Each structure stands twice: as structure tokens, then as C-alpha cells.
Structure 1
Amino acid sequence: MQKTLYLFASGRLRRKDNTVCLESENATKYFPVASLRDIFVFGELDLNKKLFEFMEEQEIVLHFFGYYGNYVGSFYPREHYNSGYVILRQAEHYLDGARRLELARRFVEGALANILQILRYYQNRGKELAGSIESISRLLEGSLPACGRVEELMAVEGNAREYYYESFNVILDKSPFTMPGRSKRPPTDPLNALISFGNSLIYAKILTEIYKTHLDPRIGYLHSTNFRRFTLNLDLAEIFKPVLADRVLFHLLGKKMLDLKDFEQQGGAYLLRERGRRLYVETLEEKLQSTFHHRRLRRNVSYQTLLRLELYKIQKHLMGEQPYKPFVSRW
């Protein structure tokens, strides 16, 4: 089974025979490439052309994160799986306004449905969330079907997330973390820093999975395709941020595994310290490798596999084989 390699140490990353070698002040470590799906780089690393050639050969994606834990960019190796026919169908669905709107609507439907699952879970555990649930349900069932433009869908999704993030203060009422409002670049409080860090990981995780399919990550539907390099991963992330990133966040804070000491302030920005980042990615990996019973497939699948399955569903939609329906978690 392939896995993700998370690198927090600073040093030099290079090829050594059929391994990736990390040389740092404290140690030299070797990682067999046969077991690697992708690499997440958080430390300050020196890399050379020979390493990138090796990554391309082995079809390993590298994702780079900045000092604040923010996503910086990816080394996306030469596409080995891209299909010209699939890319043409992607483009057709983007250029046709009605077909683009339909796919974009599905992404927002999935996002709002999964957000509601989170809120109902905590409502069943005594949290006063009826108002948030009612407001988001009204957007999902009333406003969303009436949207005639992608910009309107984005506005509905934005309004729903505003209600959702307000509910964080109810869910986390006995913790020192509060949500004064969503702030991204930079995050201006610890909770926003944690949200942004988790979302960045999900964007990168999905980008790696797209690389293993015939789809082109540059053609998205909810997020406009333009000079920005990748957008399809942002579309799909709307569905999976509640399922993965937010559930990890609530687990870590609910179990008091993180506290305010795991964050530091740099000017007007907050960032998650290394201990917190390590703990977050460990918990996320546990979640990704955990399994659940897939109703349609009638077997257990991992959440890591689920990401790939969702992309296959999008591909079938583009091919005209089966209309796309987003994954909605039971919890």
C-alpha cells in the first residue's frame, strides 16, 4: 500500500539508488519509492534536478508548504495517464454553460449535505445547532436549485459556510478556541489557522489522486478555469473538507489534543507549530486509512480510496455513462 511522506525537517532531499534520501542535521533517512504516493514538504529542503527526474520517473507528486503551513505549490510530474479524449470532454462540459452549471451545482450540493451531516451529529450530542441547520437546509433545498449562474452557486456556498463557521463556537463551546469570522490570507486566529492548514492538505491530497486518473486538474467547474493552474481539486475539496479536514479538527480539539500553545503569532498571522502540524497529519492519515461500508459497492473502502472513486464518478459523468452524484457521508 502506498503512503504519503511528510517531511518537517530541514536539510537536503536527494535520490539514493531506488530510495529518497533525507539528510538533516540529526540523521540520514531513506524512504523506498515503491511505497510512496506523494511527498508533503514543510521544512526547508535543498533539492536538485536529479531528484525531480526521479520523481517524474516514479510518478510521485511533491507538495510544498510555506512557513505558515500554507500551500505554496506542487511538482506535478509529466502526465502519464492523461487522455486527450477525456480532456476534450472536460473542456466541452466547461464551455457549455448548462453542463458546467450542473456539475458545479453537484459540488455545492455535496458540500452542503456533508456540512449538515456534521451539524446533525453534534446536534444529536446536545449542541444547540437547530438554527444553523435550518438556515443551511433552506439554502440547499431552496436557493441552490434556483441558481442560474455559477456565481450564484458560489454565493450560496459562501453563505452556507458562514452559518457553518458560526456554529463552530457552539460545537467548541468548552474549548479556548473561538471563531470570530473566517480569515484566510493570513489566518488571524488559531482556529482559522487550523482550518486553513487542513483545507490545504485536502487540496493537495485530491491533486495527487487526480494525477492517477485521466482527468486534467486545470479544468474545474465551480472554480473558474483560468490562468490558475489547478481548479478541479478545489471543486472536489468542497465535498471532502467537512468529511475529512473538519472532522479531524473537531476530534483534535474535542479530545484536547491541541491547545493554544501549539500556535504562534507572527505579526497579524497565526500559524500551527510543528508539533501541531505533525499531530494533525497523523490524525488525518488515520482517517484516510480508516474504512467504512460503501453502500453502492457493498464492501468496505478507505477514505483514501474514496477520493479516487469520486474522480472516477466525475469521469463517468463526462463520458455520458452515469450522472454524477456527490458522496454524502452518513457521518
Structure 2
Amino acid sequence: MNKSVLYVTIPGACVHQEHGRLRVTKGKELLQEARIFDIERVVIVGGSAGVTSTAATALMEAGIECAFLSSTGTFRGFLAPAKSRGAAVRLAQMAAYTDPTRRLELAQKLVVRKIKNSSTLLSRYTRNHPERVFKREQDRLFAAQHAARNATSVESLMGFEGEAAAAYFSAFGQMLGGGFRFTERSRRPPRDPANSLLSFGYTLLTSEMTGAVVAAGLDPAIGMLHSLDEGRPSLALDLMEPFRSAVVDRLVLHIANNRMLSPLDDFTQDASNGPRLTDPARRKFLLAYEERMTEPFRPQKSGSATCLRDRLRREATSFAVALRDNKPFRPFALP
């Protein structure tokens, strides 16, 4: 049976637990209701929405994580069920982090795969839109990929990843339709609606990967590519790199090019946070995100059906096994 993610987006809403069911209410109004058995994750969006201690306890006992995002999509943290296992994996993770050779090897795998997936997305777009030619961008991606393979430090590797991202996003803006405009990637705050969608999507992906990392017995703060930074889930950011184009970038292109959202009607302008999705538009985006994450597909080298959410979780588990058993790690390839 497929389980679902419960998103709580209404300001002032609260999640309660009664007799094995989660009830989302605002005042005396019942907004949503579901059996805990049918939920695999809870996402609270907005600072004024919340969850009671009784509901939080029930979620932890059921092994269900609860993520908290700001109204603009910033990942704030999450509640995760306590786990007693994973000590050996975390020791191996620390050993890899402190071993310059092993750390660089793992970081290179992630960056090279991210660049490959970005290039694959551009190639597939041009097959359906032969009027678009991205030769210059593809050449830059190929050069960055080659340089990343031969990087001699994590710092230089980050530089090559940045060069690849600049080339990729130069093409990304040309693929966007529906009135969306995009010239370059901007964050904190995003300067336009397209960047706002990307940031929100990446935040959702970060929260999911952080949960997957913890469930695999790993420490989300100790990454191989992203450096240690207080409060940042560096390993989750590492492992989600190959997923960015497959999940969020394709989703934003789908939403924009099918005019599911309007850059004029579905955003409000905030002086501090840039363009923000309206509440109805945010719910549309979340629905499309869920469809993207749960859509079944068959990997090229496997006959068994899966979905992006399952692959994301398996990515964290595979990484943990590679660390623990000192084996090669093969990151996610765009299906």
C-alpha cells in the first residue's frame, strides 16, 4: 500500500493525534484527517502551523519523521525517531571525512554524476526541441566534468562544480516558458519567481534527504563535498546533488512550460524574501512535487519498478554501505 506525505500549509493549523489518526485543525475546523498507518512523512510549512506533543510522540513511535519549513521554503529542521543503531556507519563516515583521499574520491563521484545528469537533461530537451542548441553549454559541462574527475582537492572540485552549474543554468533559462524569466541562479533571497520555485523545491529535497541520511544511520552534518557548517546538513546536500535535475529542475520546467503557475498571479513580492508563492500556488506546487516523487519508473539496468522517493532513500543506504564496507559508491543516474 502506498503511503502519503501530509503537508500542513495553512497558517494557524495544528496537527493532533486521536485514536491512531492525525487530525489537522484550525480552531474548530477540521482541515485534513488520515490514519497514522497511511502516512510516511509530515511536513509543516510556515511558522504559525504546528504539531502537538501528543501527535509528535505518536509520529516518533510510528517511525515517521516530521520536517519543518518556513513559509518561504527554508528548511528549519525535523523530528526523527530515535535510533540505537548506526554507530559503525558513523565511525566509518568520520574516517572517510578525515581521509583526504577517500573524501575526495566520494566527493568526485557526486559532482561528476551531478554534471552528467545535468548534461542528460539538456540533451533530452534538445531532442524534443531541435530549435534549441546548447552546444556551448554542453562543451562547458564536458570540460567541467573532465576537470572534476582530475581534481586534486575538494576546494578545486567545488570550483569545477560551480563552473558546470553556471553553464547548466545558462541553458536552463532558455528552456523555461510560461512567462517565467531566468538569467542566473540567485538565492537568499531568490530574485525572480523561477528562482523561488527552484529554492522551494531544493528545500523540500533537502529535508527528505536529511531524513533518509538519519534513517541510514549517518550524521547529516558531516559531508564529503560540502564543508562542516553549524546547523547545515552537509551530507544531505552532498547526496542530493545528483537528484537536483531529476527532481526539482524537471519539475519547475514542467510547471512553467505547462502554465500550471503564473509568475504574475501566483507570487507575492516580499522585500526581504523576494517572490513568494501564494498559499493556493504553494499547494499546487506541493501536489506536483508529490506526483514527481512518487511516479513509478524502471531504471535502465533494473527490471524492478521504483520511484524517485525510493531511490533517494536507497541512495543514503547505499552510501552508508559503501562507507561501512569500504566499497565503491555509485550515485544516482538520471532515469
Report TM bin, short chain. over 0.9
Aligned equivalent of 1:121, options 119, 124, 133: 124
Seen in structure 2, the aligned counterparts of structure 1 residues 234 and 115 have a Cα distance that, compared at 3 Å, is same
Q: Retained in 2: the 8 A contact 1:123–1:130? A: no
Q: How many angstroms apart in 2 are the aligned matches of 1:27 and 1:312?
A: 38
What are the superposed Cα offsets for residues 2-59 of structure 1, whole Å, 9 maximum, x if unpaired? 2211111232222212122211154253221112221111142243333322222122
- Taking the TM superposition and a 5 Å limit, the aligned residue runs for 1:183-198 are 183-198=186-201
1:271 alignment partner in structure 2:
276
Specify the code of the residue in structure 1 equivalent to 2:118. Answer: I
Seen in structure 2, the aligned counterparts of structure 1 residues 324 and 46 have a Cα distance that, compared at 3 Å, is closer
Q: How many angstroms apart in 1 are the aligned matches of 2:208 and 2:241?
A: 13
Seen in structure 2, the aligned counterparts of structure 1 residues 46 and 280 have a Cα distance that, compared at 3 Å, is closer
- Taking the TM superposition and a 5 Å limit, the aligned residue runs for 1:91-170 are 91-124=94-127, 125-126=129-130, 127-141=132-146, 143-170=147-174
2:298 alignment partner in structure 1:
293
Identity within the alignment, %: 26
Question: What SS is found at the alignment partner of 1:300?
Answer: coil
Q: How many angstroms apart in 2 are the aligned matches of 1:112 and 1:214?
A: 28
2:44 alignment partner in structure 1:
41
1:20 alignment partner in structure 2:
22
Is 1:54–2:58 an aligned residue pair? Answer: yes
Q: Retained in 2: the 8 A contact 1:22–1:30? A: yes
Question: What SS is found at the alignment partner of 2:16?
Answer: strand
Question: What SS is found at the alignment partner of 1:27?
Answer: strand
1:230 alignment partner in structure 2:
233
Specify the code of the residue in structure 2 equivalent to 1:309. Answer: R
Structure 2: where are the runs of 5+ without partners?
none
Specify the code of the residue in structure 2 equivalent to 1:247. Answer: R
Report the RMSD for the aligned CA atoms in angstroms.
1.8
2:213 alignment partner in structure 1:
210
Deviates more, 1:113-122 or 1:229-238: 229-238
Aligned equivalent of 1:241, options 244, 256, 269: 244
Runs of 4+ in 1 over 3 A off after TM superposition: none
Q: Retained in 2: the 8 A contact 1:129–1:170? A: no
1:65 alignment partner in structure 2:
69
Seen in structure 2, the aligned counterparts of structure 1 residues 108 and 11 have a Cα distance that, compared at 3 Å, is same
Deviates more, 1:52-61 or 1:146-155: 52-61
1:313 alignment partner in structure 2:
318
Q: Retained in 2: the 8 A contact 1:218–1:231? A: yes
Question: What SS is found at the alignment partner of 2:298?
Answer: strand
Deviates more, 1:29-38 or 1:233-242: 29-38
Q: Retained in 1: the 8 A contact 2:9–2:49? A: no
Deviates more, 1:227-236 or 1:256-265: 227-236
Q: How many angstroms apart in 1 are the aligned matches of 2:319 and 2:235?
A: 10
Specify the code of the residue in structure 2 equivalent to 1:3. Answer: S
Q: Retained in 2: the 8 A contact 1:62–1:75? A: yes
What TM-score do the two structures reach when normalised by structure 2?
A: 0.92
Seen in structure 2, the aligned counterparts of structure 1 residues 304 and 176 have a Cα distance that, compared at 3 Å, is same
Aligned equivalent of 1:258, options 236, 258, 261: 261
Q: How many angstroms apart in 2 are the aligned matches of 1:119 and 1:318?
A: 32
1:315 Cα deviation after fit: 2.1
Q: How many angstroms apart in 2 are the aligned matches of 1:65 and 1:210?
A: 18
Structure 1: where are the runs of 5+ without partners?
none
1:180 Cα deviation after fit: 2.9
Seen in structure 2, the aligned counterparts of structure 1 residues 321 and 2 have a Cα distance that, compared at 3 Å, is farther
